Amino acid sequence: MNNKILIITHTQDSFSLEKVTEFIAQNNFEVIRFDVDLYPLKNQLSTVFENGKWISYLKTQDTRIKLDDLSAVWYRRAYNIGTGLKEELEAKFFGPAMGEIRHTLFGFIESLDCYSLGKPSVYRRIDSKEEQLKIAHKLEFKIPETCITNDPEEAKRFIMQHQNVVGKMQTGFAIYEDGVENVVFTNVIDEESQERLDSLVYCPMQFQKKIEKKKELRITIVGQDVYAFEIDSQQSEDAKIDWRKDGINLIDKWKKTKIPADIEQKLLNLLDVYHVDYGAVDMIVSPEDEYYFIEINAAGEFFWLDNLLDDHAISKSIADVLCGKVPRRNNMVLK
């Protein structure tokens, strides 16, 4: 029986990874950890086809591991690939080298002949906020009125139509100015913002009708297990529009909660559509107790919620899915 589980992550990953690893060990499975920030300078990856067989090897500073008999892989994080390489190469070679490094690494992950909890291609697909919203609508979730555009006139029309509107980007990023990191959060479109709408011609943006909040939900789905937590984000001035703005101060204010059975079933259906066994969903509950789907993150963080559970149930669910102890959605593997 294959009992090796490969975890793709990085050296600065959170404590939650250790809890998942502990539960995997309790299931009598072995964990192989591949820290991608050590690749390629400190970790070497090789894939060889000889005598009719494919074999992959991961060579770390301590050992060389054969990777052709894996039971499962968890594509957890791929942060800081190629750390230190920029200092080793001439500038003209760095860009092409990083392209080859990413191509090789992601190609390796995609090609593994075993169950995979997450893949680069899956993450890329789920990153599409537009497709998320369209699928959610087809699954009969309530979603905010939405406009995704780089047409200033269309944006102005939408804002005039709905009056109370928020603007957000479809990807997470920060603007660096004078060495200071400024993370781009969701913001209300005020008069000053409207005066800058002509700049949309340079970059599209997502606009949504602002949903008044009774509470916000973060729902982590692992396999068939659904873990719902709520926060009264309106208690913090900084978090009223986007709870992430005051995420650190709210970290221990989240509470486990129950959600309606029909909402839970729709969330499971959402993961069925994407053929994935993990997703972190953000929802808003309005003062009228209507549940609005906002987005799903294919690799959304769960550690702070897991730490609020005495039994670390989210970590255990992840381990059980990886070890095949519970039903999993189909990953087609050709033999």
Per-domain residue ranges of the chain: 4-124, 145-209, 213-297
> Could you tell me the sign of the dihedral formed by the alpha carbons of 292, 207, 132, 295, in that order?
negative
Q: Which of 201, 131, 205 is nearest to 169 (CA)?
A: 205
Q: Which of 144, 190, 78, 184 is nearest to 282 (CA)?
A: 144
- The span from the CA of 114 to the CA of 335, in Å, is 10
Give Cα separations from 61 to 80, 83, 102, 282 (angstroms): 18, 16, 21, 40
CATH of domain 4-124: 3.40.50
- The span from the CA of 325 to the CA of 319, in Å, is 9
Task: Name 161's Cβ contacts closer than 8 Å, sequence gap at least 6.
Answer: none
- Tens-binned pLDDT, residue by residue, of the chain (335 aa): 689 999 999 999 877 799 999 999 999 999 999 999 999 999 999 999 999 999 999 999 889 999 988 999 999 999 999 999 999 999 999 999 999 999 999 999 999 999 999 999 999 999 999 999 999 999 999 999 999 999 999 999 999 999 899 999 888 766 666 665 555 678 888 777 777 898 999 999 999 999 999 999 999 999 999 999 999 777 655 555 666 655 666 777 799 999 999 999 999 999 999 999 999 999 999 999 999 999 999 999 999 999 999 899 999 999 999 999 999 997 655 55
User: CATH class for domain 213-297?
Assistant: alpha beta
Task: Classify domain 145-209 at the CATH topology level.
Answer: Dna Ligase; domain 1 (3.30.1490)
pTM of the model: 0.90
Query: What DSSP string runs through 293-335?
Result: EEEEETT---HHHHTTSTT-HHHHHHHHHHTTSS---------
